[in-house]
Amino acid sequence: SDESVAIYIHIPYCPSRCLYCSFPSGIMPDNDEFQQNFCLGVEEDIAAVVQLISMHGLSVNSVYIGGGTPTSLSDKYFARLIAKAAILLDYGCDVEFTVEAGRPDTFSLEKLVIMKEFGVDRISINSQTMHERTLALIGRNHSIKSLIDAVNATQRVGIKHINMDLIIGLPNETVGDITYSVREVLDLEPDNFTVHTLALKNGAPLYDCQNKYSFIGMQEVEQLLTEIKTMASKQAYFPYYLYRQHYMLSQVANIGFAKDGTECLYNIIMMGEYGSVIGAGLGAATKILAKDGYHLSKLYLPKNYGEYQKEFKQLLAKREKMFINRYEWGNR
């Protein structure tokens, strides 16, 4: 409905930088004071979102904590973040609650238990590949075994839905390598899996050294996607959302697959621009759909921590004004 919103909470830090990554994320400092101050800022932003929801009589349909790698926070501060975000669940009915826990090297049983306790019902565990040599090449400091262990632990704890990501076209991988990775992921039976095509973007470490590696071609990417759709269909997955990026190896779409009834509501709303998304946290985006259903206004919070702190109060006022303006659009 017009009064239903999705909430996105951004944690722009990872345990290390992946070779292909062009996102403006940093390395999470192993520093208690930094993590405490960072969490205080995000908690204040979430509190402001709660106030905004209450003031405008909104309901929450989904909460998505993304990054970066939110689980790169220590157990203590991750627990604080989840507890604060869980307050948003009180403002809706059957609210979908997703956490990107993309890197198995940031997993712990304590984090999984905390997520389960506070109502997280969807978790993303991103392999990107199922080959050890590629993991080492792209700078992901975990093993295939730790990935499988993370999936199994998530299932044992009882978190309802699991998503896994794969990237087509990682350096030095062949068509056979990618097909193998897809089979291995499907064997783990996640509820959702997403297939991305590598995008060689300026800002990614890979961009400046791409001539050192081999990449599959556009035709091979397209053939692979056709084959993946067939493999997915045989195991009762169907495509439910897609999106494109600039500089992909092929101009096909990134595709999210799901088993019936497990589709991610947040992804559908965000990618299809079907509703408003309130962003909280460093670098988060707010996108407000006007009452007329056509006009979309956007606000991007600063990616720089110092700017975010300095401009925080003014940004909250801008976000509030966006909600007032959405009613004005609806009356024109």
What is the rounded distance in angstroms from the CA atom of residue 175 to the CA atom of residue 139? 21
Sign of the C-alpha dihedral computed for residues 9, 12, 18 and 21 taken in this order: positive
Contacts with 253 (C-beta within 8 Å, 6 or more apart), sequence order: 242, 243, 244
- Asked whether residue 244 carries a pLDDT value surpassing 70, the answer given is yes
- Asked whether residue 330 carries a pLDDT value surpassing 90, the answer given is no
- Asked whether residue 213 carries a pLDDT value surpassing 60, the answer given is yes
Q: Residue 313: is it exposed, middle or buried by C-beta count within 10 angstroms (0-12/13-18/19+)? A: exposed
Q: What is the pLDDT of residue 9?
A: 98
CATH number, residue 159: 3.20.20.70
Total domain count, the chain: 1
DSSP-assigned states of every residue in 280-317? ESTT-EEEEE-TTSS-EEEEE--SSHHHHHHTHHHHHH
Q: Is residue 320 part of a domain?
A: no
Q: What is the pLDDT of residue 202?
A: 87
> What mean pLDDT do residues 1-9 have?
89
Q: What is the pLDDT of residue 143?
A: 96
Residue type, 95: V
Q: Is residue 314 part of a domain?
A: no
> What mean pLDDT do residues 300-323 have?
88
- Asked whether residue 237 carries a pLDDT value surpassing 50, the answer given is yes
Q: Is residue 285 part of a domain?
A: no
Lowest mean pLDDT of 17-26, 43-52, 82-91, name the range.
Answer: 17-26
Phi, psi of 59 (to 5 degrees): -120, 150
Q: Is residue 216 part of a domain?
A: yes
- Asked whether residue 29 carries a pLDDT value surpassing 60, the answer given is yes
Distances from the Cα of 53 to the Cα of 48, 91, 291, angstroms:
9, 8, 16
User: What mean pLDDT is reported for the chain?
Assistant: 93
User: How is residue 28 annotated by DSSP?
Assistant: P
Q: Which residue has the higher pLDDT, 271 or 290?
A: 271
Q: What is the pLDDT of residue 332?
A: 45
Q: Is residue 318 part of a domain?
A: no
The pLDDT > 70 percentage for the chain reads 97
Q: Is residue 329 part of a domain?
A: no
- Asked whether residue 328 carries a pLDDT value surpassing 80, the answer given is no
Domain ranges, residue 260: 4-280
Q: What is the pLDDT of residue 331?
A: 47
Q: Is residue 326 part of a domain?
A: no
Answer whether the bond into residue 176 is a cis peptide, omega within 30°. no
Phi, psi of 81 (to 5 degrees): -60, -45
Q: Is residue 101 part of a domain?
A: yes
What is the rounded distance in angstroms from the CA atom of residue 8 to the CA atom of residue 65? 6
Q: What is the pLDDT of residue 304?
A: 84
The pLDDT > 90 percentage for the chain reads 78
Q: What is the pLDDT of residue 327?
A: 60
Lowest mean pLDDT of 119-128, 225-234, 322-331, name the range.
Answer: 322-331
> What mean pLDDT do residues 63-73 have?
96
> What mean pLDDT do residues 91-120 have?
96
- Asked whether residue 3 carries a pLDDT value surpassing 90, the answer given is no
